[in-house]
Amino acid sequence: MPTLLIVLGLAALWIAWLVTEPWFTERRRARWRALPFPAEWRAILRRRVPCVRALPTDLQLQLKRHMQVFLREKAFIGCQGFEITDEVRVTIAAQACLLLLNGPGRYYPGLRQILVYPGAFMVDRVHADGNGVQQDQRRVLSGESWSQGQVILSWQDAVDGAASADDGQNVVIHEFAHQLDQENGSANGAPHLSPGQRRAQWAAVMGRAFADLQRRAEHGEPSLLSHYGATDPAEFFAVASEVFFEQPAQLAVELPEVHAELVALYRIDPSSW
């Protein structure tokens, strides 16, 4: 009997924690969001992330509040001797938090660490060819997103992506789009949708655009979206997200259905800024 009472007591404590933990988390985040945004962080934004100036005033304020939470919850780790400074943290956080504007405030729940290399980094992969033969391959990357709770970034590419805010290429947006995609399992190009969005419509719109990009890539035809997006649906979503934030007007003209789905997903329309 005493053992049963202990088990029941532990179960009650566990249930109570599950019920109250989100409340305590939100209270803590609310305190962080209410803190003054440091002047040195504002200077970094002006210097490194010029796209912030284009945001409407309310979204600029919201972005800074999200950054206050993000920078306290996510650990940054330097690789190959790279030093993590506020310059690094703020520059990356600002771009990552663009994807959270007007959202439900989940703050990438599966993400624990951002690993930062000074430049492009090499990874080893095992690749199986059409005959089933496995080969070790070495690839040079500017970013990766892991479902185990890490995003890996090249600092130089993160800086370049922020500096050129209208070329449709941004490694931070790309990798954090993967994080959104991975919130409901492996990245497959189907993130959690906003209320009112229909999964069937998302699949149909994105599927048609993905197939068209694959055709263009196969025939070497130009496209607003990078041909890298033709790799698989997950990469298509990440590439489309880069263009949505950096070339929204062109996306609205050339791929209006994709643009509309991303407006509904992200709950903002960068083409109006």
For residue 107, which of 89, 93, 117 has the smallest C-alpha distance?
93
The phi and psi torsions of 197 (rounded to 5 degrees) equal: -80, 140
pLDDT tens for 251-270 read: 999 999 999 999 999 999 99
**Residue 18 confidence (pLDDT) above 50:** no
The pLDDT score that the predictor gives to residue 118 is 97
Q: What is the mean pLDDT of the chain?
A: 90
Q: List own/partner pairs for 102-105 with CB under 8 A and 24 or more apart.
A: 102/59, 102/62, 102/266, 102/267, 102/268, 103/266, 103/267, 105/29, 105/66
End-to-end C-alpha distance for the chain, whole angstroms: 66
pLDDT tens for 166-210 read: 999 999 999 999 999 999 888 999 999 999 899 999 999 999 999
Domain count, the chain: 1
pLDDT tens for 204-254 read: 999 999 999 999 999 999 999 999 999 999 999 999 999 999 999 999 999
SS (H, E, C) the chain: CHHHHHHHHHHHHHHHHHHHHHHHHHHHHHHHHHCCCCHHHHHHHHHHCHHHHHCCHHHHHHHHHHHHHHHHHCEEEECCCCCCCHHHHHHHHHHHHHHHCCCCCCCCCCCCEEEEECCCEEEEEEEECCCCCEEEEEEEECEEEECCCEEEEEHHHHHHHHHCCCCCCCHHHHHHHHHHHHHHCCCCCCCCCCCCCCHHHHHHHHHHHHHHHHHHHHHCCCCCCCHHHHCCHHHHHHHHHHHHHHCHHHHHHHCHHHHHHHHHHHCCCHHHC
* Percentage of the chain modeled with pLDDT above 70: 87
**Would you call 118 exposed, middle or buried from its count of C-beta atoms within 10 A (0-12, 13-18, 19+)?**
middle
In a domain, 138, yes or no: no
In a domain, 118, yes or no: no
What is the CATH classification number for the domain harbouring 197?
3.40.390.10
What gap in Å lies between CA 10 and CA 95, rounded to an integer? 42
**Residue 12 confidence (pLDDT) above 50:** no
pLDDT tens for 32-47 read: 999 999 999 999 999 9
CB contact at 8 A, 91 and 171: no
In a domain, 113, yes or no: no
Q: Which residues contact 67 (CB under 8 A, 6 or more apart)?
A: 37, 41, 90, 93, 94, 97
The phi and psi torsions of 104 (rounded to 5 degrees) equal: -80, 0
Give the C-alpha distances (Å, rounded to integers) separating 113 from 57, 145, 153, 168, 217.
30, 11, 11, 25, 34
* Domain of 264, in residue numbers: 188-273
In a domain, 234, yes or no: yes
In a domain, 140, yes or no: no
In a domain, 60, yes or no: no
In a domain, 177, yes or no: no
In a domain, 223, yes or no: yes
